[in-house]
């Protein structure tokens, strides 16, 4: 449950940047100071996009890891669930964890 909440929080958190959008472009009669201010504002906006995107990715990764852990934990429980359900949970848990581990893996 916490994993799903983290994924939803990351999705909402990433939308913060789109609420304001990039800075407005200077007009045709802009001075050198106006262009310098615009460039500074644009750099700040790009940094904000990068930071918020990174935090959102971290939250999503933790959420998916928790979901994978829950699937693996539930597939090893000693309750009287059907074997096919336990095997399905095990396969899904392994796939989720393997996907997270291989996300930034570069073979070449």
Output the pLDDT for position 80: 59
Q: Model pTM greater than 0.85?
A: no
Output the pLDDT for position 100: 72
Output the pLDDT for position 42: 92
Q: Give every residue of the chain whose pLDDT is below 70, as ranges.
A: 1, 77-81, 103-108
CA distances from 72 to 3, 52, 75, 86, 101 (A): 14, 30, 5, 9, 15
Output the pLDDT for position 38: 92
Output the pLDDT for position 106: 61
Output the pLDDT for position 40: 93
């Amino acid at each position: 449950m916490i994993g799903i909440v983290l994924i939803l929080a990351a999705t909402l958190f990433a939308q913060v940047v789109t609420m304001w959008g990039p800075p407005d472009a200077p007009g045709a009669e802009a001075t050198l100071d106006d262009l310098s201010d615009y460039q500074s504002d644009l750099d700040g906006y790009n940094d904000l996009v990068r930071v918020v995107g990174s935090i959102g990715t971290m939250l999503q990764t933790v959420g998916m890891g928790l979901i994978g852990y829950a699937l693996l934990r539930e597939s090893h429980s000693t309750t009287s669930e059907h074997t096919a359900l336990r095997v399905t949970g095990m396969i899904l848990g392994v796939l989720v964890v393997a996907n997270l581990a291989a996300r930034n893996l570069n073979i070449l």
